[in-house]
Chain A
Amino acid sequence: MSAIGAAIAVCVAACNNQTGFSGSVGSTPNGPKLPSYQILGTTGTPFTATISDSRSFWTFQGNVPLFIAICNPPTAEAQMVVTKTGSDTNLLSASIITGNHIKDTQSTTAPFGSVTVQTGKQTSVPSAAFPDLRIFLSGPLKTKYQALVEDIDTGFIIGSVPPTLIVFDTPNGKVDATFFGPNNHTTFTADMTLNGEVVVPTTSGGPNLTIREP
């Protein structure tokens, strides 16, 4: 066991004198822990979905699987309505996860079946997000990553797997995002849209990738 102790000592020593990210990216205070949203089921099943918090909503199309995160939600209240857009009996399952627990999950196999999951109770009618800032990340499926997504006020940490759609509710100033892959073999691809217009075209890199709103 002395060898193990030596290995631990070396590793702990190596942790010293490390510095964080320099420059403006990464200098924001922590935001609250975010819930995550999943649309899973039979791989490739197409759907249309609307996700909302108590202030804004976003509509998008995608295929199973897709993971979604809302940065800067005003409250923990959220809802996601997902409708299959295929006439098959493929499974589609929508879930909201807080911490390590599935807070709500609903599934459908019906043609054009619809499911709704939510946390909290609807007390307000959200408006279409404005500005509507979206970041889409793709990369190897099942590859866990962490991301820091921030405006000039607050940074939000996201732990997920690709593909992920990240929306930022009412950002203050420009938004940037940095994705941290697990190893040197990971390559991510990301883009950013603002009100439907591409502001950061598809960008690839790995294991870490940063995109900034111009």
Chain B
Amino acid sequence: MKDFFVFRIALRLTLPLIVTICVLIGGTSPAMAAKTARVQIGFLGVPPAGFQNVLLNVVAVRINPHANAAPTNGGWQKIPAPPGIGGGFNAELQIDLNSSQNVPQLFNTAGTRPSSYRIAQLILDSTNPGSLIPNCPGPSADGCINYPIQLVNANGITLAATPGGPPLITTATGTLTSFVLQATVTITKFPTAPGGAYTVAIALAPIANPAIGTVTGQVTVTPGTGSGTSTTGKVRKLTVTAEAIGTNTTIATAPVKAVVSNCTATSPSGCFTLALPAAGPPPPSTAPFGTLYDLTVSGGADTYAAVRLQPLYPSGLITGANFAVTGNQTLGNITGTVSDGCVPNKTIAAATLQLLIPPDPIAKTKPLPTFCITSPEQCISVATATTDPSGNFPQPGTATTPTAFANVPILAKGSKGYVMEVTAPGYDPLFVLAQPGNGTNKKGGGTCSLDGGATFNACNLSMMTGYIAGAFAIVPPNPGQTALVQVFAEDHDTNNIESALPMGITVGSNPNVTGCSPPDGTVCANFKLNVPPSIPIGAFDLFAATIDTYQGVADPYQGHSIVAISDVPAPAACATVTVPTTTDPNQVIGCVGHGSITGNVGGADLGASVVLEKLDPEGPANDNEVQITSSLVQNQSPTDSDATNRYSFCAPADTYQVQKFQVPSPVPTVVPTAMPTAVPDGTPVAVTIPPPPNAGGPSPTPTPSIKCPTNCSHPDGTCPGICKNVNQPL
């Protein structure tokens, strides 16, 4: 290891050396133009027809003012994959062009020099640019499996402005410019063998009317009487964040700045601009669907504020999203642990904690401190933290931006505190009142109340759970092979999944089965699943699915059947409900092969989706459907002659139901009180995917080319061949 430490020493000397050299030569170099403009990149997908997924591994998009700029030209401005998404060293973001056909997928926002840019280049992972997953049947072999892609774009994937024409984008200091690229994938050569590569060409085009809307507003900061500092570290910058309505999912964040065009505020007040995806169709359509967002204001040692917006439409503008906050707050922290209320000394990793506040105008009515406990659906998340493997929260932020829970404004004396929601899969959600601490002890900050604010103690919280145990019957894999079974629990009659096994059940050809009497020829996959005991509906639906392998690597869609169990009563807290092992041979996980269902949805809008359901033959009559997964309905532009309103599933060859669901269309200019939910629309339709013909044989010779490539194979050594598709319009 001595060479390692020599390396360390050299590394330590490198920085001073570089600094020294930079200082020495700095005076002779022209000053670099500051990156004072902001560019937001998004993608709209135009995938080839017939694919379940069209995946591109995007490293960056770069732009240059010179249309003929060489690859090494110094004028390139790079918008890389976001660090939070793509990591620190090897950042890349995988985008699915299939799911971004209607609404752009935002890639990232980055600072650039103010300029007029005439060329844009899409940079994909050079060794693994992406992959395609075709619906059934595949091009030369099976469908619903991964095929890599090879690019024919010899000179890179570029989009250049027309010579003599306007630039692609023009950026200015203090201004956000949204640049949505339409990415079209065209297949030029099909693979000739399983696992072979598709050869594709990717073309970029600008979007005249992207499905993007803009939200602008002003944050007015009134001076407060606190310290304006944090006792535990640095202060986060004042920002406005757009979240998907009713969630803590950040869509975009904008700084609050006074030095921007059309902003009359003076620092520390300021203005913001957000460019957000908006469900269309875009103009000239006069009936776009619209997208709902929550906005939050946090940072800057100011009080929190939040607002729920009316629907945002493509090319639409919501102005006047104005906030009034109080500055100079003394910032404290909220720390503690989250543990299991049923098992002593068991902590809960990966729990999520959120501070909820009522949005304006509810906040102005001075609701009860417990408003967000009794009506959490009407509240907005302004700060989020998570627990580490030891159950401690919060986890650290970055060197320059502390975690949100280390920058919580301390409330006035007499206040009951913030409402904090704690969630973890398999546990009841927990609501407490939390008061940030103002000490310098980073690990002992804040107190929590479980009784509505009567008493406050350290935030060492416990969550309640229950258990569902049982066994799914499965045809054992052939010797030398294994099957990995995952079990999910969701609220009865919904697709709201509550829990999954922490680790799938590995089933071998001869497992040691105990306490279970499965149908002949099968073995048991025993499971015990944490579930929240207090769900309002009082029952769960379970389903088991496998994670299979294909040619030795993970198969994106399984060939083993899915088994569903409907209406399992919720256990009491810390208790176990045991599901009897099935005796029905139709309730056995078996190798049936891949399959797919595709179809059109008549008259669909962007609130439509299709849910794949499996029936439990042993479940209650007329209440035995279990929702497995859902598909967006894609490609609906009325100006597009190819507006096919398609949905598609890759699913094992079996019998299902497909059911259209519909989210109510947001009402223009009306602010909803809560996130709308999808409801069934029409009656479900039964669909059977025919099983693929058998292929292969008991011996790989003399026909090694058809040796079974998957762990989904039959006892005689054969396995499902090329899969089949069913077209089912709705």
Complex Cα distance, B248 from A150, in Å, reads 40
Interface segment, B177-185, B212-220, B547-555, B681-689? B547-555
Contact status B85-A93, CB under 8 Å: yes
Contact status B16-A11, CB under 8 Å: yes
Complex Cα distance, B398 from A117, in Å, reads 28
Known: A26-B5, A191-B390. A7 touches B24 (CB 8 A): yes
Contact status B89-A97, CB under 8 Å: yes
Interface check B8, CB cutoff 8 A: yes
The interface residues of chain A lying within 8 Å CB-to-CB of B388 are 136, 138, 163
The interface residues of chain A lying within 8 Å CB-to-CB of B286 are none
The interface residues of chain A lying within 8 Å CB-to-CB of B390 are 136, 191, 198, 202
Complex Cα distance, B127 from A136, in Å, reads 31
Contact status B92-A102, CB under 8 Å: yes
Complex Cα distance, B4 from A21, in Å, reads 10
Contact status B88-A61, CB under 8 Å: no
Complex Cα distance, B91 from A95, in Å, reads 10
Closest to A42 in B: B249
Contact status B398-A44, CB under 8 Å: no
Of the candidates A100, A118, A143, A146, the one whose C-beta lies within 8 Å of that of B554 is: A118
The interface residues of chain A lying within 8 Å CB-to-CB of B6 are 18, 20
The interface residues of chain B lying within 8 Å CB-to-CB of A172 are none
Known: A4-B21, A60-B389. A90 touches B127 (CB 8 A): no
Of the candidates B4, B57, B502, the one whose C-beta lies within 8 Å of that of A59 is: B502
Interface check A170, CB cutoff 8 A: no
Known: A47-B350, A140-B398. A146 touches B8 (CB 8 A): yes
Interface check B495, CB cutoff 8 A: yes
Contact status B1-A155, CB under 8 Å: yes
Contact status A50-B503, CB under 8 Å: yes
Contact with A along B69-92 (1 / 0, CB 8 A): 000000000000001111111101
Contact status B8-A116, CB under 8 Å: no
**Residue from B10, B89, B350 with most neighbouring chain A CB atoms (10 Å):** B350
Of the candidates A59, A101, A115, A118, the one whose C-beta lies within 8 Å of that of B503 is: A59
Interface check B482, CB cutoff 8 A: yes
Interface check B497, CB cutoff 8 A: yes
Chain B: residues with Cβ within 8 Å of the partner, total of 81
Interface check A8, CB cutoff 8 A: yes
- Report the tally of A-B residue pairs with Cβ distances under 8 A: 214
Complex Cα distance, B495 from A125, in Å, reads 33
Interface check A40, CB cutoff 8 A: yes
Contact status A90-B249, CB under 8 Å: yes
- Give B341-361 interface residues, CB cut-off 8 Å to A: 349-352
Complex Cα distance, B92 from A40, in Å, reads 10
Complex Cα distance, B3 from A65, in Å, reads 31
**Residue from A42, A43, A102, A116 with most neighbouring chain B CB atoms (10 Å):** A102
Interface check A74, CB cutoff 8 A: no
Contact status A140-B17, CB under 8 Å: no
Contact status B396-A122, CB under 8 Å: no
Interface check A152, CB cutoff 8 A: no
Interface check A48, CB cutoff 8 A: yes
- Give B6-20 interface residues, CB cut-off 8 Å to A: 6, 8-11, 13, 16-17, 20
Known: A15-B10, A142-B399. A112 touches B90 (CB 8 A): no
Q: From residue A86, how far is it (CB to closest CB) to chain B in Å?
A: 7
Contact status A46-B425, CB under 8 Å: yes
Contact status B9-A18, CB under 8 Å: yes
Interface check B2, CB cutoff 8 A: yes
- Give A50-89 interface residues, CB cut-off 8 Å to B: 50, 59-63, 65, 67, 79, 81, 83, 85-89
Contact status B127-A101, CB under 8 Å: yes
Contact status B25-A42, CB under 8 Å: no
The interface residues of chain B lying within 8 Å CB-to-CB of A136 are 388-390
Contact status B424-A46, CB under 8 Å: yes
The interface residues of chain B lying within 8 Å CB-to-CB of A141 are 396-398
Contact status A88-B249, CB under 8 Å: yes
- Give A1-30 interface residues, CB cut-off 8 Å to B: 3-4, 7-8, 11, 14-15, 18, 20-21, 26-30
Listed by A's residue number, 10 A-B pairs whose Cβ atoms lie within 8 Å are: A4-B20, A47-B350, A50-B503, A61-B502, A105-B92, A107-B55, A107-B96, A141-B398, A148-B1, A202-B390
Which residues of A pack against B, CB within 8 Å?
A: 3-4, 7-8, 11, 14-15, 18, 20-21, 26-30, 38, 40-44, 46-48, 50, 59-63, 65, 67, 79, 81, 83, 85-91, 93, 95, 97, 100-107, 109-112, 114-118, 121-122, 125, 134, 136, 138-144, 146, 148, 150, 155, 157, 161-163, 165, 180, 185-186, 189, 191, 198, 202
Identify the 7 closest CB pairs spanning chains A and B, nearest first.
A121-B552, A116-B554, A20-B5, A85-B425, A107-B94, A46-B350, A61-B349
